[in-house]
A and B are shown apart, each in its own frame.
Chain A
Amino acid sequence: MSTQGIRGKAAIVGVGISEHGEVPGWSHFELMAQAVERACADAGIKSKDIDGVFAAITPSGLPVSMVSEYLGLQPKVLEGTMLGGSSFVNFLSWAALALDAGLCEVALITYGSNARSSKRRPGGDLVPYESPFGPRLVDGYAMAAARHMYQYGTKREHLAEVAVAARAWARLNPKAMMRDPLTIEDALKSRMIADPLTLLDCCLITDGAGAIIMTRAERAKDYPNKPVYILGAAAEHSHMQIAQMRDLTVTAAARSGPRAFAMAGLKPTDMSLAMLYDAFTINTILFLEDLGFCKKGEGGAFVSGGTIAPGGRLAVNTNGGGLSCLHPGMYGIFLIAEAAIQLRGLAGERQVAGAATAVVHGNGGTLSTQVTAVLGTAETL
């Protein structure tokens, strides 16, 4: 048996989510600070206790410095690797390593965005051999969905199942932005954006911020909350530009997932819930397959009949996801927040009974970066 990596070495002890949805008049750093305020209150610490800052906030060029200045911190560890929406799941590894090595004592992972109110659209990296065609972020995902349909017979009805399941979860979350009932028929009738993806196959564009406080495992019990431990984590990449992706039906989650599960010593079937970055409905199907919840090509059949909806066999995106809860540009931090809320048993009406383990899967770029983490309660250590 080789190294257990970062298994059980660090824990989440505080979670904060800002006001979200539509929050006019608030900048992304103001929303970030509100999330940090709430995470610190949750963890029972003062913001000045933070000595490690892990942040990615677009369009700031030096987001870690800006966050630290804004919060009046002089952190000993500053980390801002930009992987897109998966950045925050990636920070879990580096924060755990820094904490375990004693480089810092209290790590903050944070993100904030006023994408909705500022009308600034996420994405927009100019990629040299694709920019003449002006692809939008959605177009790359649409082409992945088209290829999945071609190879495996996946249908628009399967995509619609994902949107309907996310909405059903959102209806149990008073903080979710979209809470009106949604049927498969409604989703199928929605306006086409890029074939085969309709408006309801696309994530929301909202305002919002999140903050996660982490400490070394041996200190975690000193905080007021049930600690949520990092059991495994792994990052992978397959391409930057969509045309360079070797197989549009297989993401690098097929490599990050097994590595994260191996570090945790757990399997997909051991998971109480799965938080999968649903920027578009096809993502959920791809990640269910690539993380090993079903075979490649069977994701459409897997989600059919409410499997991932409340009451189904697998609880997926219990906050309502990027599709129905919130999506302020880079959503990864909210996957972690919801998993931690569930593992602490604080999810209210949407609580998954007895939740002890969660897989959190972040996606960045156009299916480009894939980062998986496995989280668990003290009983799973």
Chain B
Amino acid sequence: MSDKPTPAPIANPGPDMIYQQALAAGMFKIQHCAGCNAYVFYPRHLCPECGSAKLEWVQASGKGTVYTTTMVRQRPEAGGNKNLCVVELAEGPRLMSRVEGIAADEVKIDMAVTAEIVGSGEEPKFIVFRAEAKQ
């Protein structure tokens, strides 16, 4: 019936935990491979391009473009239509995400977008994107 002891912090976490901890601290980090110069997302232990373990963490630029996109059709009571897309980061890797701040049907392939960290409470944070203001 006693309080659970606080678990000791993990001394040497793996790539996924490092990524999540950075997100929780407000930083979007990706990996850069010293072996082949590729940027890597999602976080890995070995570079998927060349197999090197020399992956170092770098701050992502947060800049990207929409590689492909769909409008997920949902009834209004289920939350209404929403965007789902794959964004290609300026550094090269892609990730699944959504574009927020504009209507789902206004998201287009090749649109310039900027990353934003979202998520609340104890849930893991994740990356969404905002369309850059039109010039």
Contacts and interface: CB of A to CB of B under 8 A. Distances in A.
A142 B70 CA distance: 6
Contacts of A132: 119, 124, 126
A48 to B, nearest CB: 47
Given A139-B70, A195-B71, A244-B94, 8 more contacts: A133-B84, A135-B84, A135-B96, A143-B68, A147-B109, A191-B73, A192-B73, A248-B86
Interface string B70-107: 11110000000000111000000011111000000100
Contacts of B84: 133, 135, 139, 143, 194
Interface of A: 128-130, 132-133, 135-136, 139, 142-144, 146-147, 150, 191-196, 241-244, 248
A50 B110 CA distance: 55
Contacts of B109: 146-147, 150
Given A128-B16, A143-B84, A243 B96 contact: yes
B98 to A, nearest CB: 6
A196 B42 CA distance: 27
A135 B85 CA distance: 10
Interface of B: 16, 41-42, 67-73, 84-86, 94-98, 105, 109, 119, 124, 126
Nearest to A147: B68
A133 B96 contact: yes
B68 A241 contact: no
A136 B72 CA distance: 9
A148 to B, nearest CB: 9
A269 B80 CA distance: 46
23 contacts: A129-B95, A132-B119, A132-B124, A135-B84, A139-B84, A142-B70, A143-B68, A143-B84, A143-B85, A146-B69, A146-B109, A147-B67, A147-B68, A192-B73, A194-B72, A195-B70, A195-B105, A241-B96, A242-B86, A243-B94, A243-B95, A248-B67, A248-B86
A135 B105 CA distance: 17
> Of B68, B69, B94, which is in contact with the most chain A CB atoms at under 10 Å from its CB?
B68
A128 B41 CA distance: 12
B41 to A, nearest CB: 8
B52 to A, nearest CB: 18
Contacts of A192: 71, 73
A129 B69 contact: no
A194 B97 contact: no
Contacts of B85: 143
Contacts of B71: 192, 194-195
Given A132-B126, A135-B84, A144 B96 contact: no
A282 to B, nearest CB: 12
**CB-CB nearest 10 A-B residue pairs:** A142-B70, A243-B96, A147-B68, A143-B68, A132-B126, A129-B42, A195-B71, A130-B96, A194-B70, A150-B109
A150 B85 CA distance: 14
Nearest to A142: B70
